[in-house]
């Protein structure tokens, strides 16, 4: 199979790349990023791109699976409008290009608490992105809703480190309905995305369809 990845320099995306390289089902893995990874493999192809010119790369979307792991923070984006352009507008644009150019399945990373009517701006944007992607009309759409992500990031996110410091020691207490709030390893999320991408559609006749996860 062939896969296309966006956000390969991020926490989940970088892990996803390594998992797909090891997965014998994938013979071609293409990365479209602002900056290439220092990684080479016979099945890996990388392109440094300008996201304002995505139409130039529409042929790259003719793959089995498109994985979108893009995401930022309001602090890094500088303001809410800039945040929305990445976590909503860009994600939806990628979904549309996937739909228009023959992608078999579009998968993306959302967030715990995502809801289009949330009073919390971050959760509201994530929820609106989920809703907007479904409205694109892709044959298959999946998203994951991880809680606090664990793993080594290339960029510093002090807020997440503080959250990890306080939450990780109490993860074992989060059971039952509270399990979804427990911190989760990026590798677990990335592997779940691959599992969803390769899950057979059983008993589902109406498209589009979606699956969501929180924690595992």
Q: Which residues are catalytic?
A: 122, 126
String of b and e for 62-84 (b: at least 16 CB within 10 Å)?
ebbbbbbbbbbeeeeeeeeeebb
How far, in Å, CA of 151 to CA of 175, rounded? 22
CB 73 within 8 A of CB 159: yes
CB 111 within 8 A of CB 123: yes
CA nearest 107: which of 129, 122, 128, 86? 129
Task: Report the 10 Å Cβ neighbour count for 86.
Answer: 18
């Amino acid at each position: 199979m062939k896969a296309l990845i966006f956000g390969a320099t991020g926490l989940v995306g970088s892990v996803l790349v390594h998992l797909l390289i090891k997965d014998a089902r994938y013979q071609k893995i293409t990365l479209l990023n602002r900056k290439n990874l220092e990684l080479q493999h016979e099945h890996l192809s990388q392109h440094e791109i300008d996201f304002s010119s995505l139409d130039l790369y529409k042929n790259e979307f003719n793959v089995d699976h498109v994985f979108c792991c893009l995401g930022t923070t309001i602090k890094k984006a500088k303001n809410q409008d800039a945040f929305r352009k990445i976590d909503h507008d860009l994600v939806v644009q990628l979904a549309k290009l996937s739909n228009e150019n023959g992608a078999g399945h579009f998968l993306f990373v959302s967030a715990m608490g995502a809801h289009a009517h949330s009073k919390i701006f971050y959760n509201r944007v994530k929820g609106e992105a989920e809703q907007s992607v479904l409205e694109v009309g892709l044959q298959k759409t999946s998203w994951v809703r991880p809680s606090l992500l664990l793993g080594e990031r290339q960029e510093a996110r002090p807020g997440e480190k503080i959250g990890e410091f306080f939450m990780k020691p109490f993860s074992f207490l989060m059971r039952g309905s509270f399990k979804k709030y427990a911190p989760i390893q990026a590798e677990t999320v990335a592997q779940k995305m691959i599992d969803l991408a390769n899950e057979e559609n059983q008993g589902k006749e109406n498209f589009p369809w979606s699956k969501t996860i929180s924690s595992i």
